Amino acid sequence: MRTKGANGVGRFSIQFEVANDKDLLRAEEGLIPPEQVRRMTIEGVVDSGAAGLVLPQSVVKRLGLESIGKVKVRYADRRTAKRDEVDHVTLEILGRQGTFKAAVEPQRDTALVGAMVLEDLDLLADSRNERLIPRDPRIKTYEME
């Protein structure tokens, strides 16, 4: 699926896994069996013109994530709204894992993966070929001065 955002930036769909990080930690400590970790594979739209991570409310509910407060969101058409924010969202894309906060969007069916997530996972968006590419397939790279 290839779409164009309002700002002309190419967008494309991917599938990735999300999990409740608190569950992952409990399983690591042996407090719950690994099969009790709430996780799922979801579809998301990569949009390097967006900032962070947005999850559909239905995904947040299935993962058992709780709101930590409200955030202001701005849509492509410049409308704004206040939405719940959750944390302890672990996601994995192309074998790279990170834990993030996410805005919760009640009307979305798919996630939105923005530039900060891509930066943290050291993934580059190849919109022309509708795929993500690790900058170095062997290891994540951090930029430093």
CATH superfamily, with its number, for domain 14-126: Acid Proteases (2.40.70.10)
Tell me the domain boundaries of the chain.
Answer: 14-126
Distance CA 121, CA 97 (A): 7
The pLDDT, as a whole number, for residue 9 is: 56
Distance CA 143, CA 103 (A): 26
Distance CA 118, CA 134 (A): 9
The pLDDT, as a whole number, for residue 144 is: 84
48: left (phi over 0), alpha (psi -120 to 50) or beta: alpha
Q: Report, as ranges of residue numbers, the positions in the chain whose pLDDT lies below 50.
A: 1-8
* Residues 21 and 118 sit within 8 Å (Cβ to Cβ): no
